[in-house]
Chains A and B, each alone.
Chain A
Amino acid sequence: MFSRASVEGNNGTLEYLVAGDGKVVFYLSESPSKDIPAAIGRFSATRRVVVPAETVGAERIVGIIDGLGDGTCDVIAFGAAASTGLQLAALLPGKVDKLVLETPSLASQSDALQKLVAEPLFDNGARMLTVIGSQCSEEAHKTAIGLKSSFQRSHLAFVYEAGENVAETQPLRYGNLVSDFLQKGGAYVIKG
């Protein structure tokens, strides 16, 4: 379903996987070489799903975004890739429309991001949804709450009976929730 493509940038060639057509949604994970969760693959029925083929920082993903055209995009970031998602939204204000952080882990975040998160009610312009499983650890729960309280246009969602990897443990509920958020984020985060 996914095909390979590449983009040239200042730091060389960056390969990515792409499937579907429509508004672009990036999927960033801790290890891109791993299988893309089926729940993410299914978004390609209505959207253009783009997955960087290697773990890269936000600056290099900007290159892909630039190569894909002028429209806005959405970003789904899993685990430690949450930092990249947040940095991407900060680097491209107005370009990232909706940002989904699944079980975010910010243990290895950069100083810049730490500063960003520490700032109360920072507005990166994106509507943000943090997704966490009801069976996640207390630590994961604290991180999610911290993000919810730090970002102005952000929301928090619990997926019942889901573990650390929500897309894998509850693919249907995860798919319903994220696809609904991508379609009508304004219903989750009212503030414009």
Chain B
Amino acid sequence: MKFSYFHTMPYDGLRSPGSWPVRNDNFDPQHGKELYEAYINCLAYAEECGFDWLGCNEHHFSPYGLMANCNLIGAALINRTKNAKLAMVGNLVPMLNPIRVAEEYAMLDVMSGGRLIAGFMRGVPHEYLAYNIAPSESRSRQQEAIALILKAWTETEPFAWEGEHFQFRAVSIWPKPMQKPYPRILISATNEDSALVAAEHRAIMGMAFISDLSVPRRNIETYRKAARSAGWEPRPEDVLVGQAICIAESDDEARAEMESGLGYLNRVLMGPQREAQKIVIERTRYFEREEVGKGFANRLAAQSALSIDKLIDGGGIFCGSPESVVRQMKRVHGELGNGVFNLMMKVGDLPDTSVLRGMRLFKERVLPQVCDL
């Protein structure tokens, strides 16, 4: 079992959720600087705590996450760490210049000595409003961007690209990635349509916001079937499952902290974007099938309404003493057969002292019990 230390770099100290896009007059640059320092320190410390991957992601126009470009954080981690994979999970490729993504990812891979895991994310629906890209084009843009990035990484001759969404007259990127033929790629697969895309590209499938284990189980089955049809057999490490996690000395302490952190996450950080997502899902063809859109919205709504016990039961969070967390991890692994847990320890505004304590407990009392899963 591999463990990824995942961070969204949330902004803390806000009182009301506001609406999306969240006005930024409350952003304090000095506090922002302190947060970046603390968060990068946590990510670097995660390697010492036994985490195999360090995960970052991209979000826009919201205190939910301060990584408009997670590659910058990846670059900051290169010289702070030695062996951990740098998992950019990831760049929102439909909304970005794919050539720029190919170049920045190649830089990260070369600079880190081949430690990049390249996430080709589609992005959650409301991100499309930020960059003025039609949500209905998200899937076709993602597919074309991936094809173009892979071509830019592997083609030995300069080339032109004439596509539906992207046109380039002469592409020849410097540097090229260190890993050959290219870094391991990861694609979000929180629904069956996305699972098919991940399988088609032989990518690691990633899932988060789980409220009921039957959903990821179905997605994994779809992914495995599609992979076999495409002529390859996924390994456990090709399946990544993301959870929020809080580990304390006792179950009660962990639950109290998780409740507080989730409260801030759901009410303040995710409230505005949940509304924006709802509008995009209702008014655009972001999800090609209506039931997939409904499933996405229901999952987010369910997550914010569930009790700690229900969230643990549903596999969306791990919470409790080290012994409880070990039990919970074993159960989810037993159900899903995944080979990677992507763990978000900074839940909402959970204090960093609690996060660091959780990391230490993970290293000393959780990891030794689950590393051989």
Where the two chains meet, the residues of A that have a C-beta atom closer than 8 Å to any C-beta of B are 129, 134, 145, 148-149, 155-161, 170, 173-174, 176-177, 180, 187-188
Contacts and interface: CB of A to CB of B under 8 A. Distances in A.
B161 interface: yes
Size range of the chain B interface in the assembly: 10 to 19
A158 B159 contact: yes
B169 A160 contact: no
B28 interface: no
Interface string B161-189: 11110110110000000000000000000
A158 B151 contact: yes
B157 A160 contact: no
Contact of A134 (B147, B156, B158): B147
Contacts of A158: 151, 159-162
Contacts, number: 52
B313 interface: no
Contacts of B160: 129, 155-158, 177, 188
Nearest to B165: A160
Contacts of B158: 155-156
Closest 10 CB pairs of A and B: A160-B163, A157-B160, A177-B162, A148-B157, A156-B159, A173-B162, A159-B162, A158-B161, A156-B157, A188-B169
Interface string B129-168: 0000000000000001001100100001111111110110
Interface core residue of A129, A134, A180, A188 (most chain B CB under 10 Å)? A134
Interface of B: 144, 147-148, 151, 156-164, 166-167, 169-170
B161 A188 contact: no
Q: Which of B144, B160, B167 has the largest number of chain A CB atoms within 10 A?
A: B160
B160 to A, nearest CB: 4
Contacts of A156: 157-160
A145 B157 contact: yes
A137 B246 CA distance: 51
Given A145-B157, A149-B157, A160 B164 contact: yes
Contacts of B156: 145
A160 B162 contact: yes
Scoring A156, A174, A188 by chain B CB atoms within 10 A of each residue's CB, the highest score goes to A156
B169 A187 contact: yes
B145 to A, nearest CB: 10
Contacts of A129: 160
Given A145-B156, A145-B157, A148-B157, A160 B170 contact: no
Contacts of B157: 145, 148-149, 156
12 contacts: A129-B160, A134-B151, A155-B160, A158-B151, A160-B147, A160-B164, A161-B163, A176-B167, A177-B160, A180-B169, A188-B160, A188-B169
B94 to A, nearest CB: 14
A144 to B, nearest CB: 9
B117 to A, nearest CB: 25
Residue with the greatest number of chain A CB neighbours at <10 A, chosen from B151, B163, B164: B163
Contacts of A177: 160, 162
Given A155-B158, A157-B162, 19 more contacts: A134-B151, A148-B159, A149-B157, A155-B159, A155-B160, A155-B170, A156-B159, A157-B161, A158-B161, A160-B147, A160-B148, A160-B161, A160-B163, A173-B162, A173-B163, A174-B162, A188-B160, A188-B169, A188-B170
Nearest to A166: B162
Nearest to B166: A160
A155 B298 CA distance: 50
A176 B164 contact: no
Contacts of A176: 162, 167
A25 B131 CA distance: 41
A128 to B, nearest CB: 12
Nearest to A134: B147
